[in-house]
Amino acid sequence: MGLAERRRIVAIRESHSPRFQSELNAAIGFEMPFEIDTASFPEDKTILDCYDYYYESYGPGLVVTVMKSICADDLGKEAAKAKFNKIVFQNVAKSAENPGDKSVEIKDNTLFVRESFYGYSDKLYGEDDLRGAIEAIL
């Protein structure tokens, strides 16, 4: 792993995470910790390139968009607050041979949104799919 890959992971942690946290709080109208699990991003150029390309539309940016939709009314806000008090976004791709699989689950009062950043579109959520998956567990 090179310096460029390490810098990109630091940028995710120091730049992207605070921005998405701020956008989430503004979108849903209350404070909800939102973590991008940078430890789940292997120091692999292809995965990091895919993250950079997709993070707004399919990654943490999509989580913000979907949570804004879910929390558009008091019923949605109450449902979210009752089920979880934190959101964690994780990458599941480890390599081309091990892209992982997308999933959504609530565990220990935390909503985990997992996607595979390795160029596999079927391993990323679309807006309707992610909203449906989260609403199904609320």
Task: Note the maximum CA span of the chain.
Answer: 47
Would you call 46 exposed, middle or buried from its count of C-beta atoms within 10 A (0-12, 13-18, 19+)? middle
Write down the residue that tokens 């789940």 correspond to.
40
Q: What is the pLDDT along the chain (138 residues), one digit of tens a residue?
A: 688 888 888 888 888 899 999 999 999 999 999 999 998 988 888 888 888 888 888 999 999 999 999 999 999 999 999 999 999 999 999 887 888 999 999 999 999 999 998 877 789 999 999 999 999 999
